Amino acid sequence: MYNFKNDYSEGAHPNILNKMIETNLVQQLGYGEDEYGIEAKEVIKDKIKNPHATIHFLSGGTQTNLIVISFLLRVHEAVISAKTGHISANETGAIEATGHKVITIETEDGKLRPNDIQQALQDYALKPHVVKPRMVYISNSTEIGTIYTKRELEDLSTCCQNNHLLLYLDGARLGHALMARDNDMTLADIARLTDIFYIGGTKNGALLGEAVIFRTPALALDFEYVLKQKGAMLAKGRLLAIQFLELFKHDLYFDLASHANTMAMKIVDAVQSKGFSFLTNSTTNQIFPILRKDVIQKLNENYLFYVWKEIDDNHSAIRLITSWATDEKNVDAFIADLRSL
């Protein structure tokens, strides 16, 4: 069985493991003050072209969203998200458990637009009887594989600035968005147009880890206190720092995401050649082909994937995720089996 269910099937890229072994007995300060963390942050600041950014390393995406959002919002404030957004659909109510409402917007492609934000602001204008929208949460790539264009993010950023809203981007799969064949943004663009975002390592070559980036130090004031209080400040911070140093020092992060996307696009071409369509127009490593149920049943004999959504009595959309370590031989085998059905 070959696993297309998620990005977690493999461990970490060998460069990371080798670097951990190589530095294992080199003594370092704890709690994020190690030399690897200092260097990794400087490398990332150079990539995002913002020497004034504040960067912290956390262990996972849900932890990151929970801590960042609850840190930045006051008790009466809320966050706007697409209904498919991770904080709405996949985090067990983590944000709302901190007392902050998630205002959800129905979208066809998983992306928010200025009109969505304006509508939410109108719907929650009866102060002080309703929560106050204060943050806009987006994902790139989205939870259904789509990506924002530079113009879309610029428009969203302007809308947020005009309405005194913080713009926070979930970058669990940011590498795959940036390396998509139709992407027109850079990492520096993301850093310039958002107030806070994070770079996901867990889904792209790291054992675990996300790098949270605050555009200005003022936004991150006292954030380290909250990290410690919430149990998110690792004593052995080097564990996260080494991974991001290896991922970004020589652009390994982008190479791995590019490979994952390339493998996904091979499958896309094969699905299209069979005359099947897709639930979303994804050019990243998450794709959602709509297949006949008999085809799905046969493929499921040799491949693991999620049946995502029933379309009609005879068809369902499945989700296939390719990773940084996806073996091209297995992709070719999947394509051959698909073409034979």
pLDDT in tens, 258-286: 999 999 999 999 999 999 999 999 999 99
Q: What is the mean pLDDT of residues 327-334?
A: 96
CB 59 within 8 A of CB 210: yes
State pLDDT tens for residues 212-228.
999 999 999 999 999 99
What is the chain's mean pLDDT, rounded?
97
Phi and psi, residue 20, nearest 5°: -65, -40
DSSP of 319-334: EEE--TT--HHHHHHH
- How large a percentage of the chain has pLDDT more than 70? 100
Reduced to 3 states (helix: H, G, I; strand: E, B; else coil), residue 277 is: strand
pLDDT tens figures, 43-55: 999 999 999 999 9
Are the beta carbons of 183 and 218 closer than 8 angstroms?
A: no
Rounded alpha-carbon distances, angstroms, from residue 164 to 8, 119, 132, 167, 235: 37, 15, 11, 10, 36
Three-state DSSP class for residue 100: coil
pLDDT of 8 strictly over 90 = no
- pTM for this predicted structure: 0.96
How far is residue 286's CA from residue 320's CA, in Å, rounded to a whole number?
6
Question: What's residue 9's pLDDT?
Answer: 85
240-247: average pLDDT? 98
Query: For 284-303, what is the mean pLDDT?
Result: 97
The DSSP secondary-structure symbol of 50 reads -
153-168: average pLDDT: 98
* pLDDT, tens only, 128-145: 999 999 999 999 999 999
